């Protein structure tokens, strides 16, 4: 009964919110126009004549501002940049961004939240999300949940460390989410989707998904200077796991005021919330008394097994406001000022299995005889971002040499509050559940207070950078960049400040260099060198009681060849790279026995240990052989390993977790140009993820994950201003483990899902 109540509650709430949003959005522009114009005469509305075309919008993006912060042809960039534009996202029928991450070469999805992915073998998971940008500045409104695709214009994946222009980051690469901006012409689009899971574990009535989004834009009234955009998205989006439920609601209003073509201000706001049942995935059950290495044999309970109660809940809320000012200055300089402020809170309350001490008899991993004494876990995470970037640039043209010089500064701060209201106790043995056929919903939550902590971490950063894009003659393109950063990190557990207070200050310099040479108009080899820096944010002291550890650093060498045809219908990129990650902080395994420096008795002693390395090759191709047919494909080989370790020398050469060596994808769409099927189209896609490893090679839990292949398909139909699509994800209902959520829990790939969508523009 409880499942039915939850499902109906979410559905009714979804319908009410979606209906309210739709009415508000459709009425708002009309009300504004009536108030501004106050027409006295009725006007005859003349409808446009709609003509169905079989042409497909190109997946290829010619230019981008992400890699250099100025618009540049992708072929002139000395780095790898993959873009999924609005056409590519729409054709996959994406409701959230997780729906399309698998089609990005070099990226691997490890979790279902926004930062749950890896670039070139290096993860971006964790409390901070430095590697995710929104229109060029960090700060996600949601962290535990997947981000809606309704307000996304394109996704830009910049591979490798790029600290010169973007400051602190992990070395694998950056994801920039380009959000929608106001337009000068009136447009409104409404999109509905209804989905159902039709796989092996289908349970009628519980597995449906639904969403509605509205996107309206245009001038405010009859103004020639002020323009608005309002995007709203509501969804009910449970996964295919039994009893799971979920709903999300987002609003994205924005305004642009244009004084002239080159002087304008855009302000964007975001308000999002997501509620869903917490799901820790499935548990590997080891059968040969070892959980380490290639001889670690394990199985799982049936993949529809759930270990969380239906009351276990994850809540995610956030809001943000961003601004972008662009102006032409005297002397042909252009000024750009950008800001972003974010408030975010996520709450998880559950009986979790994601902890080694839950197994009974006591074990660090699950065995066939193990019972689960699930642990009570109640955690609130608060996050605040306030960041800004100011730069000026100018083009200098001196005959055969042309250069674009950028001078800029970026600064800001973050607060991260991790409040454990309860971290335990475990359920009593009498209420333990089995690894197979667990009996759930039998116990109320205990009283809060066990293992409580309140860890607050503050981080500030200030950087100055210079970058120059130089063109020599008609063939040679050079880029150079330099950045200086200073950062401060301090924090403490306010419930136990004597043993947890820490602080560190770091200064660093990062460099970048690149060269592209146009051998012909179609073929351009390139080479680049780049660096990244990320301050240490953990409570850590060296043996002298000093917490000023140098920042973690990344360094990349990349070379490759870019090819495109004159009309840009065929684009190929081949890249080879090596990334070295150093200053990795690890615990020594010992604690202070006497006060030392700033450290107190009982605090852990840490040290810099080892090096991680990723070497690989990536191949990407986009081909549109005819206006009504195009393909997008890629393959990556990446070897991400522990390259050196003082503490764990036996781990050298072992793969990092969730870093498959081989990945690939393919997508094609064909529209019928003539005949009775005119207006219809078909799409077919494949995602391949090779064998990977779960756990941690420096611990006793480290085991293989098998590779998997998923096939997706689509049917499209366009009639007048209506677009219909039927997308089938996991066409052959392949059962697979998609990734590891942690050393002890595994994420289950979704079963076959059918999603019917209808979009209308007017």
53-68 as b/e: b if 16+ CB within 10 A: ebebebbbbeebebbb
Predicted confidence at residue 313, as pLDDT, reads: 95
Consecutive H or E run containing 500: helix 497-500
- For residue 144, give Cα distances in angstroms to 111, 217, 577, 696: 9, 30, 31, 22
The per-residue pLDDT for range 353-381, each reduced to its tens digit, is: 988 889 999 999 999 999 999 999 999 99
Rounded to whole angstroms, how far apart are CA atoms 118 and 126? 12
Q: Which span out of 2-16, 86-100, 151-165, 213-227 was modeled with the highest average pLDDT?
A: 213-227
Residue 428 DSSP symbol: P
9: left (phi over 0), alpha (psi -120 to 50) or beta: alpha
Residue 32 DSSP symbol: H
The per-residue pLDDT for range 624-634, each reduced to its tens digit, is: 999 999 999 99
Residue in this structure with the two tokens 């299995």, named with its chain if needed: 353
Average the pLDDT over each of 255-259, 513-517, 523-527, 718-722 and give the range with the smallest value: 718-722
pLDDT band at 129 (very low <50, low <70, confident <90, very high): low
Q: Which residues share a beta bridge with 462? A: 411, 486
pLDDT > 50? residue 13 = no
Rounded to whole angstroms, how far apart are CA atoms 703 and 292? 6
Q: CA gyration radius for the chain?
A: 27
The answer to whether residues 36 and 103 touch, using CB atoms and an 8 Å cutoff, is no
Q: Which one, of 339, 344, 302, 349, lies nearest residue 319 by Cα?
A: 344
Residues 576-595: what's their mean pLDDT?
Answer: 83
pLDDT > 50? residue 457 = yes
Predicted confidence at residue 39, as pLDDT, reads: 42
Distance of alpha carbon 429 from its chain centroid, rounded? 39
CA-based end-to-end distance of the chain: 43
Rounded to whole angstroms, how far apart are CA atoms 629 and 260? 39
Average the pLDDT over each of 32-46, 275-289, 377-391, 689-703 and give the range with the smallest value: 32-46
Q: Is residue 49 part of a domain?
A: no
The per-residue pLDDT for range 706-748, each reduced to its tens digit, is: 999 999 999 999 999 999 999 999 999 999 999 998 889 999 9
288-293, Cβ contacts within 8 angstroms, sequence gap of 24 or more? 289/367, 291/364, 291/365, 291/695, 291/700, 291/701, 291/702, 291/703, 292/695, 292/700, 292/701, 292/702, 292/703, 293/702, 293/703
- DSSP letter for each residue of 435-464: SSS---S------S-TT-EEEEEEEEEEEE
Q: Is residue 51 part of a domain?
A: no
* CATH number of the domain encompassing residue 273: 2.40.170.20
Tokens of 340: 């972003």
The answer to whether residues 234 and 212 touch, using CB atoms and an 8 Å cutoff, is yes
Consecutive H or E run containing 168: none
Express the helix, strand and coil content of the chain in percent, nearest 5 each: 10, 50, 40
The answer to whether residues 334 and 393 touch, using CB atoms and an 8 Å cutoff, is yes
Q: Which residues share a beta bridge with 178? A: 154
Quote the mean pLDDT of the chain. Answer: 87
The answer to whether residues 379 and 420 touch, using CB atoms and an 8 Å cutoff, is yes
The answer to whether residues 754 and 198 touch, using CB atoms and an 8 Å cutoff, is yes
Q: Is residue 50 part of a domain?
A: no
Rounded to whole angstroms, how far apart are CA atoms 579 and 613? 6
Share of the chain above pLDDT 70, in %: 90
Pairing of strands 173-179, 132-134: parallel
Q: State whether residue 17 is helix, strand or coil.
A: helix
pLDDT > 70? residue 36 = no
Would you tell me how many other CB atoms lie within 10 Å of the CB of residue 401? Answer: 13
Q: Is residue 43 part of a domain?
A: no
Alpha helices in 82-198 (DSSP H): 86-91, 98-101, 163-166
Q: State whether residue 186 is helix, strand or coil.
A: coil
Residues 193-208: what's their mean pLDDT?
Answer: 76
Residue in this structure with the two tokens 């009628």, named with its chain if needed: 204
Predicted confidence at residue 505, as pLDDT, reads: 87
Q: Is residue 745 part of a domain?
A: yes
Share of the chain above pLDDT 90, in %: 63
Q: Which residues share a beta bridge with 607? A: 586
- Peptide bond preceding 361: is omega within 30 degrees of 0, i.e. cis? yes
Consecutive H or E run containing 48: none
Angle among Cα 109, 115, 120 to the nearest 5 degrees reads 55
The answer to whether residues 74 and 64 touch, using CB atoms and an 8 Å cutoff, is yes
Query: CA 511, 517, 523, 526: dihedral to nearest 10 degrees?
Result: -20
Predicted confidence at residue 126, as pLDDT, reads: 56
Residue 616 sits at φ, ψ, to 5 deg, of -170, 175
Rounded to whole angstroms, how far apart are CA atoms 327 and 263? 4
Strands, sheet with 371-372, edge to edge from the N-terminal-most edge strand: 359-360, 371-372, 433-434
Secondary structure (H, E, C), 593-608: CCCECCECCCCEEEEE
- DSSP letter for each residue of 343-403: EEEEEEEEEE--SGGGEES--SSB-TT-EE-PEEEEEEEEEEEEEEEEEEEEEEEETTEEE
Residues 511-534: what's their mean pLDDT?
Answer: 96
Tokens of 195: 């989905």
The answer to whether residues 146 and 114 touch, using CB atoms and an 8 Å cutoff, is yes
User: Which residues neighbour 364 within 8 Å (Cβ) at sequence distance 6 or greater?
Assistant: 291, 356, 700, 701
Rounded to whole angstroms, how far apart are CA atoms 591 and 603? 5
pLDDT > 90? residue 151 = yes
Distance of alpha carbon 237 from its chain centroid, rounded? 18
- Peptide bond preceding 425: is omega within 30 degrees of 0, i.e. cis? yes
Predicted confidence at residue 610, as pLDDT, reads: 79
Q: Which one, of 10, 9, 569, lies nearest residue 235 by Cα?
A: 10
Residue in this structure with the two tokens 């072929």, named with its chain if needed: 75
The per-residue pLDDT for range 97-122, each reduced to its tens digit, is: 888 888 888 888 777 667 677 889 98
Rounded to whole angstroms, how far apart are CA atoms 618 and 664? 9
The answer to whether residues 470 and 439 touch, using CB atoms and an 8 Å cutoff, is no
pLDDT band at 328 (very low <50, low <70, confident <90, very high): very high
Rounded to whole angstroms, how far apart are CA atoms 450 and 372? 19
The answer to whether residues 95 and 170 touch, using CB atoms and an 8 Å cutoff, is no
Residues 595-599: what's their mean pLDDT?
Answer: 79
Q: Is residue 516 part of a domain?
A: yes
Q: Is residue 48 part of a domain?
A: no
Consecutive H or E run containing 24: helix 2-37
Q: Which one, of 429, 431, 434, 428, lies nearest residue 442 by Cα?
A: 431
Looking at the structure of the chain, the number of domains it has is: 1
pLDDT band at 207 (very low <50, low <70, confident <90, very high): low
Q: Is residue 605 part of a domain?
A: yes
pLDDT > 50? residue 83 = yes
pLDDT band at 125 (very low <50, low <70, confident <90, very high): low
Residues 512-520: what's their mean pLDDT?
Answer: 97
Q: Which domain holds residue 336?
A: 2-38+56-761
Rounded to whole angstroms, how far apart are CA atoms 28 and 255? 14
């Amino acid at each position: 009964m409880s499942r039915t109540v939850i499902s109906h509650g979410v559905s009714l709430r979804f319908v009410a919110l979606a209906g309210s949003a739709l009415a508000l959005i459709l009425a708002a522009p009309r009300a504004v126009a009536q108030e501004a114009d106050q027409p006295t005469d009725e006007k005859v509305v003349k409808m446009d004549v709609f003509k169905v075309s079989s042409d497909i919008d190109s997946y290829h993006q010619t230019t981008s501002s992400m890699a250099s912060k100025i618009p540049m042809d992708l072929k002139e960039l000395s780095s790898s940049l993959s873009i999924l534009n609005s056409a590519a996202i729409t054709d996959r029928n994406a409701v959230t961004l997780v729906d399309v991450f698998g089609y990005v070469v070099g990226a691997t999805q490890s979790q279902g939240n926004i930062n749950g992915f890896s670039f070139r073998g290096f993860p971006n998971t964790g409390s901070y999300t430095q590697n995710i940008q929104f229109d060029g500045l960090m700060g996600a409104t949601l962290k535990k949940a997947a981000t809606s695709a309704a307000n996304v214009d394109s996704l830009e994946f910049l591979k490798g460390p790029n600290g010169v222009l973007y400051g602190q980051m992990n070395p694998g690469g950056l994801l920039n989410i380009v959000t929608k901006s106001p337009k000068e012409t009136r447009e409104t689009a409404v999109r509905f989707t209804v989905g159902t899971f039709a796989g092996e574990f289908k349970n009628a009535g519980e597995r449906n998904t639904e969403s509605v989004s509205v996107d309206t834009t245009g001038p405010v009234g009859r103004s020639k200077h002020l323009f608005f955009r309002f995007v709203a998205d509501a969804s009910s989006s449970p996964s295919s796991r039994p009893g799971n439920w979920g709903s999300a609601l987002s609003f994205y209003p924005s305004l642009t005021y244009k004084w002239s073509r080159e002087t304008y201000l855009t302000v964007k706001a975001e308000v999002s919330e997501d509620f869903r049942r917490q799901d820790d995935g499935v548990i590997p059950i080891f059968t040969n008394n070892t959980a380490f290495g290639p001889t670690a044999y394990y199985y799982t309970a049936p993949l529809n097994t759930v270990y969380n109660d239906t009351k276990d809940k994850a809540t995610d809320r956030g809001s943000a406001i961003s601004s972008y000012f662009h102006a032409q200055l005297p002397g042909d300089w252009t000024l750009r000022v950008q800001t972003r402020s974010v408030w975010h809170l996520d709450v998880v309350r559950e009986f979790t299995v994601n902890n080694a001490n839950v197994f009974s008899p006591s074990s660090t991993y699950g065995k066939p005889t193990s019972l689960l004494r699930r642990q009570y876990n109640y955690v609130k995470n608060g996050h605040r971002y306030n960041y800004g970037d100011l730069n000026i640039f100018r083009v200098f043209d001196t005959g055969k040499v042309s250069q674009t010089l950028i001078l800029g500064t970026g600064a800001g701060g973050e607060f991260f509050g991790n409040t454990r209201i309860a971290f335990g106790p475990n359920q009593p043995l009498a209420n333990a559940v089995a690894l197979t056929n667990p009996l759930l919903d039998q116990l109320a939550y205990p009283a809060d207070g066990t293992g409580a902590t309140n860890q607050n971490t503050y981080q500030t950063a200030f950087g100055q950078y210079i970058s120059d894009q130089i063109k020599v003659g008609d063939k040679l393109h050079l880029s150079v960049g330099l950045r200086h950063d200073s950062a401060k990190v301090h924090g403490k557990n306010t419930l136990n400040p004597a043993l947890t207070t820490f602080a560190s200050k770091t200064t660093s310099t990062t460099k970048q260099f690149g060269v592209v040479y146009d051998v012909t108009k179609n073929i351009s080899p390139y080479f680049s060198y780049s660096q990244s820096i990320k301050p240490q944010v953990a409570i850590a002291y060296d043996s002298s009681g000093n917490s000023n550890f140098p920042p973690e650093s990344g360094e990349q060498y990349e070379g490759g060849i870019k090819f495109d045809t004159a009309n840009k219908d065929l684009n190929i990129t081949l890249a080879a790279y090596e990334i070295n990650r150093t200053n990795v902080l690890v615990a020594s395994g010992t604690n202070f026995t006497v006060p030392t420096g700033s450290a107190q008795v009982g605090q852990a002693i840490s040290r810099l240990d080892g090096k991680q390395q990723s070497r690989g090759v990536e191949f990407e191709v986009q081909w549109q052989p005819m206006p009504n047919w195009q393909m997008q494909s890629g393959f990556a080989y990446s070897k991400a390993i522990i390259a050196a370790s003082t503490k764990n020398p036996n781990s050298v050469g072992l793969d990092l977790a969730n870093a498959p060596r081989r990945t690939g994808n393919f997508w094609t769409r064909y529209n019928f140009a003539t005949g009775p099927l005119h207006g219809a189209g078909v799409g077919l896609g494949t995602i391949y993820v090779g064998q990977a490893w779960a756990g941690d090679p420096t611990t006793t839990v480290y085991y293989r994950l098998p590779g998997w292949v998923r096939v997706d398909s689509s049917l499209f139909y366009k009639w007048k201003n209506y677009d219909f699509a039927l997308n089938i994800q996991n066409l052959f209902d392949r059962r697979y483990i998609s990734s590891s959520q942690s050393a002890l829990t595994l994420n289950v790939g979704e079963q076959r899902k059918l999603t019917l969508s209808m979009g209308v523009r007017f």
